[in-house]
A and B are shown apart, each in its own frame.
Chain A
Amino acid sequence: MLSLRAMLLPSLSSRVPSSSMAEEGGGEPPKGSLGWAIDENFGSFVKLAQKVNAEGAALQGSGWVWLGLDKELKRLVVETTANQDPLVTKGPGLVPLLGIDVWEHAYYLQYKNVRPDYLKNIWKVINWKYASEVYDKESS
């Protein structure tokens, strides 16, 4: 559901990648309602990427780092889960929009022990179209 602002000022509903995005979260960032929600909940797309990367790097052992929608509180959250625990184990109202696997098998052959480099680079191939679809469906 497009906000009134997005409908009246369509030029604001797409964001131009800045140089800082190339460092953290580079790639085709989300537009539309998910894009606005990210700005609202985290301040900016870059801040979201920084938060996800920090939590993903700090995860002890094997697990996942998630961007989720809390359907009850109507807000976006960044969460981690251990091993193969699905996001719903952190709260029954949580819907996964984006999950990044930080098990060593997800990156070791290429990035060796340097999980932060994997996290920095994965944003280049994140499919925000899918995350936006899920967000739009689940937040209507």
Chain B
Amino acid sequence: MAARSLLIRKTLATVLRRDSAALGAPAAAHSRGLHTFTLPDLSYDYGALEPAISGEIMELHHKKHHQTYVTNYNKALEQLHDALPKGDASTIVKLQSAIKFNGGGHINHSIFWKNLAPVREGGGEPPKGSLGWAIDEHFGSFEKLVQKVNAEGAALQGSGWVWLGLDKELKRLVVETTANQDPLVTKGPGLVPLLGIDVWEHAYYLQYKNVRPDYLKNIWKVINWKYASEVYDNESS
């Protein structure tokens, strides 16, 4: 029983560690051996991405939405931690939805904050170096990539994310979408998120109302390609 729960904990930890580079603050360790998570700080002020994304949206998005995912993720992990040694299969399975949704929300938003940067810190500057070359190779040009991301983001039904990802197995860049808070890895185990754009209505509605395409058009002005390039270089070596 102990060995099995250890195996499950290690598997969970491996999956979480893969995307944990962006998760910011190290996980808080409990004496019982359960790691819980905390809301990562932004490296810029809420208003620093204006006019592309309003300070009001950034504050609500970070302090309320992301915080709620962290809180509920931790709650679900605590309940899982209790159910595992009991072998309570029904509870373990019932918790998967809350873990995927809230854990995914924490993973995705942690990446998102790193994907953004104020203009005066390089936000909006197109990627140079190897990622820049890879984008030209796979999409034809940076503009064509932007068009593809915007088209798929605008067409996404309901809530979700649009991603630029690296397929480690096929050694190529991909544009993918995921529904709700599904992390990119749910579209393929070899996929590494470089850039994720939140297209849930809460990400833009206060400022852009129903006009998601305008939000997509403007967000490129504050995309932090330095971070995406770092991840690309790390994962493609």
Contacts and interface: CB of A to CB of B under 8 A. Distances in A.
Interface of A: 60-63, 82-84, 103-105, 108-109, 112-113
Interface string B173-206: 0000001110000000000000000001110011
A61 B60 contact: no
Contact of A104 (B68, B157, B205): B205
B142 interface: no
Interface of B: 60, 64-65, 68, 97, 101, 157-160, 179-181, 200-202, 205-206, 209-210
Contact of B64 (A60, A61, A103, A113): A113
B202 A113 contact: yes
27 contacts: A60-B180, A60-B181, A61-B179, A61-B181, A61-B200, A62-B158, A62-B201, A83-B157, A84-B157, A103-B158, A104-B159, A104-B200, A104-B201, A104-B202, A104-B205, A105-B210, A108-B201, A108-B202, A108-B206, A109-B206, A109-B209, A112-B60, A112-B64, A112-B206, A113-B64, A113-B68, A113-B202
B210 A60 contact: no
Contacts of A62: 158-159, 201
B158 A82 contact: yes
Most A CB within 10 A of own CB, among B60, B160, B205, B209:
B205
A66 B210 CA distance: 24
A110 to B, nearest CB: 11
B95 to A, nearest CB: 14
A84 B156 CA distance: 12
Contacts of A83: 157-158
Contacts of A103: 158, 201
Contact of A105 (B64, B157, B205): B205
B201 to A, nearest CB: 4
Nearest to B203: A104
Contact of B65 (A63, A84, A109, A113): A113
Contacts of B206: 108-109, 112
Given A62-B159, A83-B157, A105-B210, 7 more contacts: A60-B97, A61-B200, A62-B158, A83-B158, A84-B158, A104-B205, A113-B202
A109 B204 CA distance: 11
